[in-house]
Amino acid sequence: MGTVVILGVFVADTAYRATRMPVMGETILGNAFSLGPGGKGSNQAVACARIGAETHMISLLGQDDFAKLALDTWADAGVIPHVRQLTDSYTGAAYIFIEEASGDNAIIIAPGAAALISTADIDAQTELIASADVFVTQLEQSIDAAVRGLEIARKAGVTTILNPAPAAELPDGMLALCDYVTPNETECEALTGIAVTNETEAQKACVALRDLGVKTPIITMGEQGAYLFGHGLVPSVKAGDVVETTGAGDAFNGAFAAALAEGKPPLEAVRYGCATAGISVTRAGTAPAMPSRAEVEALL
């Protein structure tokens, strides 16, 4: 089924649903609360494993209840952890506000121990990264660690994916290490200075990313779908009413990586990503947000 190694962060998601965001100094009553696993890297690993790839997760955790949540989450999904647990830090946590009417969200992340991932931690996993079919990272841990992972993977001929989230200024040459870069519209504008609201703008932004060294840019565009450079817009896949959009991008990236790892062509892999994201946004709390391979293939 292919092997995927993911470098990233686990955080415990504390999610609050309300009709609106409070203004500074204001307290309002919420409609619901949930506690569950999150973090872009961890979410992507769970999505990837549920599609069927042999999935390895590189990260750091504390030694606390949230660390147990991380390890249990990975065990349930079939993700193989490669982590150190620190006694002098905490496992990451996130505040998520969800607007009741739309399902849109706003998020604050405190990565905790995972913010301490160093290049030495990545060097210790050189053999693992080099043995993968696909290597994936994001920007919730240090950029230096992400760059080192990409360098090791590129040297070994491993397909590299950078999900440049949250948006950040990247060092020169980082994008040239990437076979695929998967920003959303906001992250794409931060990288290129080009606002993306439609296919024409997406094509222009992809050309800019290509000029920065990316082999194949992909822009995720929410309910429109994903723009694959060299093909065009791949439509989103509707699986039901949207409950919340938290983790939709992670669902896309994890499934996309899994499909690439087993040898599917990029267009088919993007379709897997869109279908996985389409199912994930219909779920909140009661069911696994990341669907199984069978569910994705049934939808496709």
250 is catalytic: yes
Task: Give 3-state DSSP helix, strand, coil % of the chain, rounded to 5.
Answer: 40, 25, 35
From the list 13, 121, 133, 250, the catalytic residue is 250
Q: What is d(CA 221, CA 208) in angstroms, rounded to the nearest whole number?
A: 17
Map tokens 């053999």 to a residue: 127
Cβ count near 283 (within 10 Å): 18
Q: What is d(CA 247, CA 255) in angstroms, rounded to the nearest whole number?
A: 12
Locate 276 and state its tokens.
Answer: 């996985």
Annotate 212-266 with three-state secondary structure: CCCCEEEEECHHHEEEECCCEEEECCCCCCCCCCCCHHHHHHHHHHHHHHCCCCH
Locate 246 and state its tokens.
Answer: 């938290």
Positions annotated as catalytic residues are 250
